[in-house]
Chains A and B, each alone.
Chain A
Amino acid sequence: MFEARITQGSVLKKLVEALKELVTEGNFDVSNTGLSLQAMDSSHVCLVSLTLREDGFDHFRCDRNMAMGIHFGNLSKILKCAGNEDTITLKAEDNADQLTLMFEAPSQDRISDFDLKLMSIESEHLGIPDQDYSAEVKLPSSEYQRIVRDLTSIGDTVLISATKEGIKFSTSGDVGTANITLRHNTTPEKPEEQTFIDLKEPVALTFALRYLNNFSKATPLAPQVKLSLTKDLPIVVEYQVGELGSVRFYLAPKIDD
């Protein structure tokens, strides 16, 4: 038996909206430590890693480990039927072929349940080692969203370079070129409006803007986003989802032929 209840159901709605265009399907792996997902896009260029801790839920029970194969487009259709203020409960029997989603309005006068058909998915798990990065940058998630959106209108790829001067995003295309530099800035009173640059050594990497832009669909989940960069390795774009966990996007760099 698996059962997970979250009062702030809108978080689940936002999570699925953030993932569904990148990965069409994947396994929700549930265990007594929580719920996780690792899924690559169809071209194996980027990977989504979601970790939701058991203690971040209002109630969590998982008697045995299960992999529930989810089609995110279908899950999104069902979650769109939940109100933003609803409490959401996920339920599945052991070895079930469906996941039940129950939505409860705050006033308790409307309760609905939907069954999502589960899929059998052979998932490829990648072993991602914990490592130190050359540069870690925390910035407002809205700023990240604005940068990648603006640059996507100019070019297809972005060169991200982190130096002691700051972090610079550069692109070029038919209309011309663009450079946006952010400096370390802890002046704003609100921590979520600050930019922190932790630089161990300068690094510069090139990425496809289309994916970086797609990751910014997670903006409603967190006020800040962390970018982690190391030479010749994928970038990690990480959103902390309150006390519940995190969603991380890994994107392989483009490397000179």
Chain B
Amino acid sequence: TPVQNDLKEFYALL
């Protein structure tokens, strides 16, 4: 089953 990723996995916090 595909796992839902968190957006923070992709974009750095400013």
Contact = CB atoms under 8 A, between A and B. Distances in A.
A256 interface: yes
A45 B3 contact: no
Contacts of B3: 254-257
Interface in A26-44: 40, 43-44
Contacts of A250: 7
B11 A128 contact: yes
Interface of A: 40, 43-47, 124-129, 157, 206, 208, 233-234, 250, 252-257
Given A125-B13, A125-B14, A44 B1 contact: no
B2 A256 contact: yes
A252 B14 contact: no
Interface of B: 1-14
A255 B7 CA distance: 12
Contacts of B9: 252
Nearest to A250: B7
A46 B7 contact: yes
Nearest to A233: B10
Given A47-B7, A252-B7, A124 B2 contact: no
Dominant SS among interface residues on chain B: mixed
B3 to A, nearest CB: 5
A2 to B, nearest CB: 23
A127 B14 contact: yes
Contact of B4 (A47, A124, A125, A252): A252
Nearest to B14: A125
10 contacts: A40-B7, A43-B6, A45-B6, A47-B7, A124-B13, A126-B8, A126-B13, A254-B3, A256-B2, A256-B3
B11 A127 contact: yes
Contacts of A255: 2-3, 5
Q: Which 10 A-B pairs have the closest CB atoms?
A: A254-B2, A126-B11, A252-B5, A125-B14, A127-B14, A44-B6, A252-B7, A257-B3, A127-B12, A206-B2
B12 A126 contact: yes
A40 B13 CA distance: 12
B6 A252 contact: yes
